[in-house]
Amino acid sequence: MVKNKSNVIDVFLIDDDEDDFILVRDYLDELNSKTSFNIYWQPDYDSALEEVCSNRFNICLVDYRLGEKNGLEFIKKVRSKGCEIPLILLTGQGDKEIDYEAMRLGASDYLVKSEINANSLGRSIRYAINHSQSVKELNANEAKYRSLFERSVDSIYMINKEHLFIDVNQSMEKLLGFTKSEILQKTIKEIFVNEESYQYFYEMLAKNGHVKDFEITLVRKDGDKVECLVNGIALTGDNGEVYGYQGIIHDLTLRKRAEEDLLVAEKLAMTGQIARSMAHEVRNPLTNLNLALEQLRDEVEEVDGDETGLYFDIIRRNADRIEQLITEMLKSSKPKQLNPEVGSLNDVIEETLAITADRIKLRGIRLVRKLEPQIPKISFDKEQLKTAFLNIIINAIEAMEVDHGILKIDTHKEESSVVLSIADNGKGIPATEIKKLFDPFFTGKKGGMGLGLTSTQNIINSHGAKIVVDSEVGKGTIFRIIFPLHTLVG
């Protein structure tokens, strides 16, 4: 709106009848108020369209009959140009359909010429200007809050009473991997992984009208699961009845990942501490035991049929195993010193597979390679990565049935990382054991020491990477090793 003096209103009139202009001018002159009116008349339709949105006027009066055209067309044209000037339609006789159409197109008011007087015209002008200002303020506030809504880092949603989505922001689209139009076809129940969690969410909203910081798991379009905190509150109308709910969903992925990384670091630190303590406390008496054993062997004479030598061998073999166990534990828990070089992950995989080629062939395993040729190069310690990959591949080979195994090796680049996946169709790992896989001394293999995967995780962590394991009993296991973008060098 034009910024005029507060006691002056500039009025624009489009009317092809000069008598009507004189009548309107006289009415405005009759008004006995502190506000004065400047009226500008334009009888030509096209000229009026150019002038009305010039920001010179506070309000526009539009006659319905404008020669071959009419006031409704004029209002529609003005609004299509994005012009927000208040508009009042002047009609020769009352016609509700014309009046309603004018309001629908953006007019603030309408007046029947035969019923106009100075007071009704002045009141309509003041109403239209005030109404227009209120609408502008509402639009500005809506734009401001819409901007906050769309730019929020957290996901914001609105659902109706049936829990069907009616609005979401861009963060919600990013969180779930769906487009906004796809989400608006769903209920919030459809993105909950756990039925019991949804029932609790539903009951708390219905009973209390709100839910606060409830931890849930949601499912993305690609099937991945996301740990989140959900909040919700009821929306009520003027009559106090609930018509929907709105809330915020906070993605816990980064926090959970930080907690997992901290747990792994603490676990490795504890393992290292235990290993060093054991090395100190066990190796000294073990050395004395070995020395005493050698001295005893020299002093004891074997007699035919005597099993003394067998017992010596048993003691020696187990003492060596204790020494080996301590050495392996120290190696698995000690932070790896890297000798980095720049290269392709594909080369490391090919060299590792060459080492296991005989095992793969002997067990009748079908090897499926899907290595992305243009995978970005990264910085790594080749020998250590070969050791880490070898541990995983050997475990996969041993988990599969002879002559029925399928080993799939895949490398590819995702948005922010380079990923290696090693998948088998073996016996799988129970869900209760997946979190224990990298614990020292945890093993499902007969005769294993349970330090191979501990060492693997230590190597991967030293490279700033991460291991994710998915498994289903009877169907197989997938190890995904993810090298973040910051490790990329070319």
Q: Which of 128-132, 160-164, 213-217, 329-333 has the lowest mean pLDDT?
A: 329-333
Q: What pLDDT, on the 0 to 100 scale, is given for residue 197?
A: 92
Compute the distance between CA of residue 407 and CA of residue 398 in angstroms, rounded to an integer.
Answer: 11
Return the pLDDT at 224: 84
pLDDT at 419 over 80: yes
Domain end: 148, 166, 186, which one?
Answer: 148
* Whether residue 450 is found in the same domain as residue 345: yes
Residue environment code for 422-453, b if the CB has 16+ CB neighbours within 10 A, otherwise e: bbbbbbbbeeeeeeebbbbeebeeeeebbbbb
Sign of CA dihedral 258, 261, 267, 271: negative
In the sheet where 225-236 sits, what is the strand order? Answer: 165-168, 155-160, 242-251, 225-236, 210-219
pLDDT of residue 330: 67
Residue bearing tokens 């004395």? 288
Full residue range of the structural domain in which residue 170 is found: 152-251
Q: Based on the domain organization, do 275 and 168 belong to the same domain?
A: no
Q: Which DSSP symbol is given to 402? A: T
More confident residue, 17 or 263: 17
* Residue 354 included in any domain: yes
Higher model confidence: residue 387 or residue 455?
Answer: 387
pLDDT value of residue 136: 78
Cβ atoms within 10 Å of 355's Cβ, excluding its own:
13
Taken in order 26, 28, 32, 35, the sign of the CA dihedral is: negative
Say if residue 462's pLDDT is above 50. yes
Residue 1 falls inside a structural domain: no
According to DSSP, residue 187 is labeled B
Give a yes or no: residue 189 inside a domain: yes
The answer to whether position 45 is within a domain reads yes
Predicted confidence (pLDDT) per residue in 307-365, tens digit: 777 878 888 888 887 777 777 666 655 655 678 888 899 999 999 999 999 999 999 99
49-99 pLDDT tens trace:
889 888 889 999 999 888 888 889 999 999 888 888 999 998 876 677 888
> Which letter does DSSP use for residue 194 in this model?
-
Name the CA radius of gyration of the chain, rounded: 40
Question: In the predicted model, what is the mean pLDDT of residues 407-422?
Answer: 91
Domain presence at residue 26: yes
- pLDDT exceeds 70 at position 208: yes
Q: What is the pLDDT of residue 451?
A: 62
Q: Of residues 222 and 283, which shows the higher confidence score?
A: 222
3-state DSSP assignment of residue 346: helix
pLDDT reported for residue 443: 64
One domain for residues 366 and 291: no
Span 223-233, average pLDDT:
90
pLDDT at 160 over 70: yes
Tell me: do 207 and 291 sit in the same domain: no
Q: What gap in Å lies between CA 98 and CA 104, rounded to an integer?
A: 10
For residue 225, name the pLDDT band (cuts at 50, 70, 90).
confident
Our count of domains for the chain comes to: 4
**What's residue 4's pLDDT?**
46
| Same domain, residue pair 299 and 207 | no
Q: Does residue 488 have a pLDDT over 50? A: no
Residue 102 in domain = yes
Among residues 251, 267, 292, the one where a domain terminates is 251
Positions of E strands within 76-224 = 87-91, 109-112, 155-160, 165-168, 210-219
Give me 383's structure tokens. Answer: 């020998």
Please indicate, yes or no, whether residues 39 and 170 belong to a single structural domain of this protein. Answer: no
**Domain annotation covers residue 383:** yes
Tell me which of 303, 333, 363 is where a domain ends: 333
Please tell me the pTM assigned to this model: 0.46
Q: Are residues 22 and 121 in the same domain?
A: yes
Tell me how far CA of residue 489 lies from CA of 273, 345, 376, 418, 486, in angstroms: 34, 12, 8, 12, 8
Q: What is the CATH number of the domain that holds 194?
A: 3.30.450.20
d(CA 276, CA 270): 10
In this structure, the answer to whether residues 465 and 357 fall within a common structural domain is yes
- How far is CA 197 from its chain centroid? 20
Query: Which of 37, 24, 34, 39 shows the shortest CA–CA distance to 117?
Result: 24
2 pLDDT above the threshold of 60? no
Instruction: State whether 367 and 327 are in the same domain.
Output: no
At residue 33, does pLDDT exceed 80? no
Percent of the chain exceeding pLDDT 70 equals 85
Q: Of 63-77, 410-424, 454-468, give the lowest mean pLDDT range.
A: 454-468
Q: What is the token pair recorded at 441?
A: 């001394």
Average model confidence (pLDDT) across the chain: 84
C-alpha separations of 402 from 23, 83, 367 in Å: 102, 77, 13
- pLDDT exceeds 50 at position 101: yes
Query: Which CATH number is 290's domain given?
Result: 1.10.287.130
Per-residue pLDDT at 304 exceeds 60:
no
Of residues 327 and 287, the one with the higher pLDDT is 287
Same domain, 13 and 130: yes
What is residue 265's predicted lDDT score, i.e. its pLDDT? Answer: 66
Which of residues 137 and 25 earns the better pLDDT score? 25
The percentage of residues in the chain with a pLDDT greater than 90, rounded to a whole number, is 34
State yes or no: pLDDT of 269 exceeds 70. no
CATH of the domain at 404: 3.30.565.10
pLDDT at residue 490 in the model: 39
Same domain, 296 and 209: no
Per-residue pLDDT at 261 = 66
Residue 347 sits in the same domain as residue 453:
yes
Q: What is the pLDDT of residue 148?
A: 74
The whole-number average pLDDT for the span 356-381 is 91
Indicate whether 3 belongs to any domain.
Answer: no
What's the helix, strand, coil split of the chain in %, to 5? 50, 25, 25
165-168/341-343 β-pairing: unpaired
pLDDT at 489: 41
